[in-house]
């Protein structure tokens, strides 16, 4: 079943996300570890209107507080890619499909001789479509390590995945980053 929301008005979405990030960060720093209790009904509606869920904020706040990254600016850049994709490509309609961990390539799988690339590529597609389940984070520590070693920003990678004609084009782009 396809869930439909109103086409989001994005004029204030960065303000909304800053407010929700700040609230989540404060709750997390105070010891709260129950993401399902972080946001009230109106805030959940705001997130849903952007094609987002609680974990789209919680995971980034958790990693920022516990590991120092990604910071708010990186979260915003990554999230903006999802929000724009949701509005423009999905026309404000939420997908009812979720990717299972078993659907993802193994962390050791390679393409073009590059381990992790098949996995992050599928996670990026899932992030753009809003199909990652709560236990899978695009931008996790492994993704960040991969992005750093290949000299790209995770938001840049999402953008490349979105606008490339094929996976092969993305693979060549990643491999070419270190050339």
CA 18 to chain CA mean position, Å: 16
| Domain's final residue, options 96, 120, 144 | 96
Per residue in 90-128, pLDDT tens?
999 999 999 999 999 999 999 999 999 999 999 999 999
For residues 76 and 3, state if they share a domain: yes
Tokens read off for 18: 């800053």
Tell me the DSSP string of 50-90: TT--THHHHHHHHHHHHHS-S-HHHHHHHHHHHHHHHHHTS
Give the structural domain span for 113.
97-179
For residues 84 and 128, state if they share a domain: no
For residues 59 and 83, state if they share a domain: yes
For residues 90 and 162, state if they share a domain: no
For residues 87 and 174, state if they share a domain: no
Give the number of domains in the chain: 2
For residues 72 and 146, state if they share a domain: no
4: how many CB neighbours lie within 10 A of its CB? 11
**Predicted pLDDT at 3:** 52
Mean pLDDT estimate for the chain: 95
Per residue in 6-54, pLDDT tens?
666 899 999 999 999 999 999 999 999 999 999 999 999 999 999 999 9
Tokens read off for 85: 């994709």
For residues 5 and 47, state if they share a domain: yes
For residues 81 and 133, state if they share a domain: no
Tokens read off for 71: 């910071």
| Domain's final residue, options 66, 96, 126 | 96
């Amino acid at each position: 079943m396809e869930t439909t929301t109103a086409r989001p008005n994005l004029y204030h979405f960065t303000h909304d996300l800053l407010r929700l990030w700040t609230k989540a960060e404060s709750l997390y720093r105070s010891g709260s570890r129950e993401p399902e209790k972080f946001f009230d009904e109106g805030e959940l509606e705001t997130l849903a209107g952007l094609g987002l869920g609680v974990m789209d904020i919680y995971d980034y706040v958790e990693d920022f507080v516990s590991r120092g990254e990604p910071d708010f600016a990186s979260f915003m850049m990554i999230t903006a890619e999802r929000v724009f994709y949701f509005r423009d490509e999905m026309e404000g309609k939420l997908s009812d499909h979720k990717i299972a961990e078993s659907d993802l390539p193994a962390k050791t799988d390679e393409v073009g001789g590059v381990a992790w690339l098949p996995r992050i590529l599928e996670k990026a597609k899932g992030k753009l479509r809003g199909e990652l389940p709560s236990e899978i984070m695009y931008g996790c520590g492994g993704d960040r390590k991969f992005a750093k070693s290949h000299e790209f920003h995770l938001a840049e990678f999402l953008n490349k995945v979105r606008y490339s004609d094929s996976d092969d084009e993305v693979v060549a782009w990643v491999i070419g980053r270190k050339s």
